[in-house]
Structure 1
Amino acid sequence: MKRFAHRVLPARVLPVLALAAPAVIALGAAPAAADAAPVSFSYADCPDSLPVGADPGNWICDNIVIGGGTMKIGSIQQTLTKPISMTVQSGYDPVTGENINIFVKMRSQQETVPGGVLGVPGTENIPLLSLKEKTQYAGNFSLGFTAAGGYGSTIDLRVKIINSLLGDTCYIGSKTDPIKLNLEGDNDSLKWYDNAIGMTMNDTSFAAPGTTGCGLFGGVANFRAGLPSASGKNAASLQLYLSSKPYTELFPALKAQAKSSASTKMLPLGLPQSIKPGS
């Protein structure tokens, strides 16, 4: 398993990608802005409360969007065509003073699996042979740096498999035996937008467990998906985007409680709208 370390980044790197680092970043100028990111961001899932004793002036709500990419799990190659969004609170632990990230919510949509139940191209649109999947959060979210100094993240997932014959509890992986991603950022892909930053994150070392909750068709589901699948036979390449807002902007009532000023303090990883690239 890759290990992540805390590190303070230079101001010019404020901020870095969604699944990048729970580091403290000094405010400063960013590269010149391009166009808006090609995804939509929402802060509707940002909680209106923080840990007891937290200073709202030192907290940000991040909206992370997986806007595309591919996942190869066993014998299934899935192109992501619908966005997956994640909401994360980032700030200082009021007790220890360390940077922490609190995972709030994942939102995802069903994707059609090419080849359907039989793995035959073109059959995925036939009702009984249709096969869909939906990615779900299963824990272990972290932001950090790899031992080599690059950006990285961990996240555990399970994938719901949807077909009328499989029932409503069929998954690849489970909360106790999930797909465990250890993503590394492609530094060359880092791009600044006028409302976000983006980067491609990859993992080719994760293992994929077998299915659970598929009833009498569990063996068939495993055979179709080529599961379980050992490390080195699976791959994830995800295009991620990050946009952030300070808590004092999201919830003005919290501004009066802030003990510090975002213009002078170092903030957790994120992209407050008040900090514009090129400013």
Structure 2
Amino acid sequence: MISRSTVRRLAVSALAVGGTAGLFAAASGPAVAAGTLPPNLAKYANCPISDPTVASCVYIETSSAQLKVGKFDLRTNDPIKLEFGLKNPPPTYEDVAVAPNNGHKVMTAPPIEVPGGIFGVPGAGVGPLAAYVTPELTEVPRVNTNNLVNQEGVALGLKVKAKVHNPFTDVLSIFGPGCYIGSNTWPIPLDLTTGTTNPPLPNKPISGAYNPGTPEGWGIKFDDVRAVDNTFAAPGASGCGTPFGWMNPIVNGIAGVPSKAGTNTAVLVADISITDANEVREPLGLDPVYQ
């Protein structure tokens, strides 16, 4: 059995040279009663720690997000949150995301206002003419912490669909409750990198950013990570106008979708926190798992 002190010593050395093994480098927080997470671990409340294969817990919270798809240029400073566990199964030991097993969604996102409303007219997107888009995941993320740190390749892969609605009135009820840009079978694929993209024209390369992590409890926090993708194509509308999607062409015209690769952009600026899953198991009275 590997002792926690050994893990700590190895992790401190790894953090000193910038490796991802430094995820668990800092001292533990104060002891708390079993069954209660201390404040510094509360963000990991939805980590699937009851799964013994989960080795670490991840919490991501954006400070800003942009999703430019077709004619829609969506921006928000309201937080988008992603919560999941990570396992590293043999023989590759690559990162594999594990969704919460308590019914909580991997991603929670606010409604993002469409500038100009449903008709895209500046100043007209108010009240019943307002339109909002809420992104939803269609599957668990793909994660590569090595790519995150090394600023190359895909650090965070997200497949999303975007619900078109007005949460404050029923004017857009004509679209039905299942009006989306994209779908479960044809999502918007975001391959977010902290490195530099290589998009088809007319888009030009853009770069993400990575700041070395700082110790946070028995884990590490990466502040103000900028993850970008402008290489993806976006699908058209689905489920708009029940029961046969008869309003899909109308939404396609309003949103300018489908839109080809090289014309869309996604930019997320986020804080990323990762900790040893055993650090979350311990105050909840669960036995540690050594892998």
Instruction: Could you tell me which runs of 5 or more consecutive residues in structure 1 were left unpaired when the two chains were aligned.
Output: 1-8, 16-23, 30-39, 261-279
Asked if the contact 2:87/2:98 (under 8 Å) is kept, the reply is no
Mean Cα deviation higher: 113-122 or 250-259: 250-259
Tell me by how many angstroms 1:254 deviates.
6.3
Highest relative contact order (Cα 8 Å, sep 6+), 1 or 2?
1
Tell me by how many angstroms 1:80 deviates.
1.9
Tell me by how many angstroms 1:188 deviates.
7.0
Asked if the contact 1:61/1:246 (under 8 Å) is kept, the reply is yes
Tell me by how many angstroms 1:193 deviates.
5.7
Letter in 2 for 1:224: I
Tell me by how many angstroms 1:26 deviates.
7.6
Residue of structure 2 in register with 1:78 after alignment: 74
Tell me by how many angstroms 1:207 deviates.
0.4
Matched, 1:221 2:246: no
State how many pairs are aligned: 226
Indicate which of 231, 245, 251 corresponds to 2:281.
Answer: 251
CA distance in 2: counterparts of 1:89 and 1:183, whole angstroms: 19
Residue of structure 1 in register with 2:18 after alignment: 13
Residue of structure 1 in register with 2:94 after alignment: 99
Taking every aligned residue pair, what percent have the same amino acid on both sides? 25
Matched, 1:173 2:182: yes
| C-alpha distance 46-26 of structure 1, shift in aligned 2 (>3 A) | closer
| C-alpha distance 221-256 of structure 1, shift in aligned 2 (>3 A) | closer
- The normalised TM-score by structure 1 is 0.71
Asked if the contact 1:70/1:238 (under 8 Å) is kept, the reply is yes
Indicate which of 190, 197, 203 corresponds to 2:222.
Answer: 197
Structure with the bigger percentage of strand: 1
Asked if the contact 2:281/2:288 (under 8 Å) is kept, the reply is no
Instruction: Could you tell me which runs of 5 or more consecutive residues in structure 2 were left unpaired when the two chains were aligned.
Output: 1-12, 27-40, 100-105, 166-171, 196-206
CA distance in 1: counterparts of 2:267 and 2:45, whole angstroms: 27
Structure with the bigger percentage of helix: 2
Tell me by how many angstroms 1:170 deviates.
0.3
Asked if the contact 2:151/2:210 (under 8 Å) is kept, the reply is no
Residue of structure 1 in register with 2:268 after alignment: 238
Asked if the contact 1:159/1:171 (under 8 Å) is kept, the reply is yes
Residue of structure 1 in register with 2:44 after alignment: 43
- The normalised TM-score by structure 2 is 0.68
Tell me by how many angstroms 1:251 deviates.
1.8
SS of corresponding position for 2:268: strand
Matched, 1:142 2:142: yes
SS of corresponding position for 2:231: coil
SS of corresponding position for 1:46: coil
SS of corresponding position for 1:42: helix
Letter in 2 for 1:136: E
SS of corresponding position for 1:185: coil
CA distance in 1: counterparts of 2:279 and 2:23, whole angstroms: 19
SS of corresponding position for 1:83: coil
Tell me by how many angstroms 1:245 deviates.
2.6
Letter in 2 for 1:258: V
Asked if the contact 1:137/1:156 (under 8 Å) is kept, the reply is yes
Tell me by how many angstroms 1:41 deviates.
7.6
SS of corresponding position for 1:117: helix
| C-alpha distance 41-135 of structure 1, shift in aligned 2 (>3 A) | farther
Tell me by how many angstroms 1:97 deviates.
6.9
Letter in 1 for 2:289: A
Asked if the contact 1:14/1:27 (under 8 Å) is kept, the reply is no
CA distance in 2: counterparts of 1:218 and 1:120, whole angstroms: 20
What is the RMSD computed on CA atoms of the aligned residues? 2.9
SS of corresponding position for 1:189: coil
| C-alpha distance 213-256 of structure 1, shift in aligned 2 (>3 A) | closer
Residues 70-106 of structure 1: CA deviation (Å, up to 9, x unaligned): 111001111122211111212332x647233224211
Tell me by how many angstroms 1:225 deviates.
0.4
SS of corresponding position for 1:205: coil
SS of corresponding position for 1:220: helix
SS of corresponding position for 1:121: coil
